[in-house]
């Protein structure tokens, strides 16, 4: 196996089909494709690339905390931008955080334990969507790119961008960040507001996300605290050591 990289060319990995060919094959199937839509730059690029290829995209978003206004507002914006409904479901991490009592006061622990929240996998969520939307066998797309990190490159080398047994596909796997930016610019597609706050879409309950949300969206920060009351300690701990 070898990889070949030119400054302005997509990444190539021996024996792995290019994303352009993958998108053409998906389009030729003529069936809708699910898209895990994080609202991040890569999932936006995947949506735009598939739309350009003539693929019907069925996007779904997984929320980490229910009812955050900056998330809900951006979902509405992208629904209007693409003219497509975005299915909005709980993220597996929300269940995992609650079940592990993350940032929970003692009086809530027994209640959470009694609730016995499930912890669905991403594949189980995709299967539920296929059943609910009557899309048997639909491919489930993501915005994973080999150039994003060494781990993602290795995963692409090991598993490839098309995993038939999971019906999983990465339709922009060989794009560089320049390709992502070009697609967003060509389609005049803006990033969600939190890119100005922490340089990416909301993805956790650690300091790098919580502090900018507290500073820029205090009502949403209060909502986070309603679900995870002790999250304030993450900011207190970090600020105390600075």
pLDDT in tens, 18-30: 999 999 999 999 9
Sorting pLDDT into bands at 50, 70 and 90, what band is 188? very high
- Rounded to whole angstroms, how far apart are CA atoms 185 and 221? 31
CB 82 within 8 A of CB 75: no
Sorting pLDDT into bands at 50, 70 and 90, what band is 1? very low
Q: Taking the CB of residue 98, how many other CB atoms lie within 10 A of it? A: 21
Residues 6+ apart with CB under 8 A from 130: 34, 136, 137, 138
Residue 152: what pLDDT? 87
Q: Is the pLDDT of residue 2 over 80?
A: no
Q: Is the pLDDT of residue 7 over 60?
A: no
End-to-end CA distance of the chain: 46
Radius of gyration over every alpha carbon of the chain, rounded to an integer in angstroms? 19
Residue 19: what pLDDT? 96
What is the pLDDT averaged over residues 52-65?
98
Average pLDDT of the chain to the nearest whole number: 94
**What is the tens place of the pLDDT at every residue in 119-174?**
999 999 999 999 999 999 999 999 999 988 888 888 898 889 999 999 999 999 99
What is the pLDDT averaged over residues 85-100?
98
**What is the tens place of the pLDDT at every residue in 31-50?**
999 999 999 999 999 999 99
Q: Is the pLDDT of residue 65 over 60?
A: yes
Residue 8: what pLDDT? 61
């Amino acid at each position: 196996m070898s990889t070949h990289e030119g400054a302005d060319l997509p990444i190539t990995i021996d024996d792995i089909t290019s994303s352009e060919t993958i998108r053409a094959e998906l389009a030729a199937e003529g069936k809708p494709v699910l898209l895990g839509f994080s609202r991040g730059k890569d999932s936006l690029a995947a949506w735009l690339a598939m739309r350009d290829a003539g693929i019907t995209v069925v996007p779904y978003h997984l929320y980490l905390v229910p009812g955050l206004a900056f998330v809900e507002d951006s979902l509405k914006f992208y629904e209007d931008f693409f003219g497509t409904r975005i299915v909005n479901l709980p993220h597996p991490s929300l269940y995992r955080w609650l079940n592990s009592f993350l940032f929970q006061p003692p009086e809530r622990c027994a209640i959470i334990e009694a609730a016995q929240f499930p912890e669905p996998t991403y594949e189980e969520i995709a299967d539920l969507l296929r059943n609910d939307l009557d899309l048997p066998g639909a491919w489930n797309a993501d915005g994973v790119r080999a150039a994003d990190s060494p781990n993602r490159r290795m995963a692409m080398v090991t598993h490839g961008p098309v995993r038939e047994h999971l019906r999983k596909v990465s339709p922009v796997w060989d794009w560089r960040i320049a390709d992502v930016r070009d697609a967003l610019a060509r389609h005049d597609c803006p990033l969600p507001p939190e890119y100005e706050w922490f340089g990416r879409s909301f993805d956790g309950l650690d300091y790098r996300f919580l502090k900018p949300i507290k500073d820029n969206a205090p009502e949403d920060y209060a909502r986070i605290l309603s679900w995870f009351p002790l999250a304030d300690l993450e900011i207190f701990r970090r600020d105390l050591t600075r």
